[in-house]
Amino acid sequence: MSEGARIGQGRAQLVATIIISVVILFWTLLPIYNMIIVAMEPKDAVFSGSPWPRDLTFVNFWTVFTQNFWYLSHFWRQMLNSLIIALVTSVLVIAIGTITSFAIHRLKLRFGFLLSNAALLSYAIPLSFLAIPFYKILNTYGLLNTLWAVIIVEVTFASPYAIFIFSQYSTSIPMELDEAARIDGATVPQIFRRIFLPLMMPAIVAVGTYSLLLAWNEYLYAFLLLSSETEITVPVALGHFLSSDDSPWNILMAAALVYSIPPLIIYYMTRNRMTTGMTIGGVKG
């Protein structure tokens, strides 16, 4: 290939890349742009039919912050509920995930592989398919309309993934470390705390973030299991907006944006570790 042709090809590739990039940006940002604009418009501008943003203002965000709208009179309480569910879920998932994978892979429990296979199978069950029996069961346990109901569901569905990731990651920690500690007289809990946990930290961060985001984003189970205004989470409250015909879309969008910001910050902060966590092991096909 001549030098000129190669440069020409490089330029053609650059032009193609720029065109595709513009299409990707437009496609990705259109709904998000729309959301931000609506969140910053007064109500009459939202229903004006104008394609261009008009009279942009932050007043809707102020309405959300001060809970100055009857759909949102418990907004901060609902944010707190989302936060409690997310934090408790991720602590429990990390606890259950680490001890289970430690027992199966480091203590080499004889039938441990059965449990990890069972966990993996339950990872492949679509969450929403068990909503009806879950509702009935938690009803008989008297847990409906408590945050624990949602926490239990999230722990149930996030633990298999945790066990799966921890098991894969733990194979990278040499068994000799455990054996050496054992010869030095370390007990099992000591090996777990002093050797296993510190070396598992990257996977723990990844799984912790995963379950935090999973629980924060949960809609269906929170919608079914929680009912009172002070117990529901933010996405359930956002869903309530849609039940009335003349929804205040601008306030709805402002509340939705406020609710979206914490997970976005967490995601972009831990992004590099997340991708390693999600694709630990990579392809070995």
Nearest approach in angstroms of CB 257 to other proteins is 7
Nearest approach in angstroms of CB 147 to other proteins is 16
Which residue among 17, 66, 227, 230 contacts other proteins (CB under 8 A)? 17
Place of tokens 């409250």: 237
CA angle 97–100–106, rounded 5-degree value: 120
Q: Which stretch binds other proteins (CB under 8 A): 31-39, 67-75, 83-91, 197-205?
A: 31-39
Our CB check for other proteins shows the closer of 80 and 103 to be 103
Q: Which residues, in sequence order, are CB contacts of 138 under 8 Å at separation 6+? A: 144, 149, 152, 225
Our CB check for other proteins shows the closer of 74 and 213 to be 213
Q: Is 145 in the site for other proteins (CB under 8 A)?
A: no
Q: How far is CA 89 from the centre of its chain?
A: 11
Nearest approach in angstroms of CB 51 to other proteins is 4
Q: Is 133 in the site for other proteins (CB under 8 A)?
A: yes
Nearest approach in angstroms of CB 62 to other proteins is 19
Q: Which residues, in sequence order, are CB contacts of 233 under 8 Å at separation 6+? A: 78, 81, 82, 85, 150, 218, 222, 226
Which residue among 8, 11, 179, 194 contacts other proteins (CB under 8 A)? 179
Nearest approach in angstroms of CB 117 to other proteins is 6
Q: Kindly state the greatest CA–CA separation across the chain.
A: 77
Burial of 229 (0-12, 13-18, 19+ CB in 10 A): middle
Nearest approach in angstroms of CB 193 to other proteins is 12
Within 13 Å and on the Cβ side, how many CA atoms surround 101? Answer: 26
- Contact characters 214-253, other proteins, x per CB under 8 A: --xx-xx---x----------x--xx--x------x--xx
Our CB check for other proteins shows the closer of 67 and 168 to be 168
| Residues from 63 through 122 that contact other proteins (CB under 8 A) | 95-96, 99-100, 102-105, 107-110, 112-113, 115-122
Which residue among 20, 56, 201, 269 contacts other proteins (CB under 8 A)? 20
Q: Is 172 in the site for other proteins (CB under 8 A)?
A: no
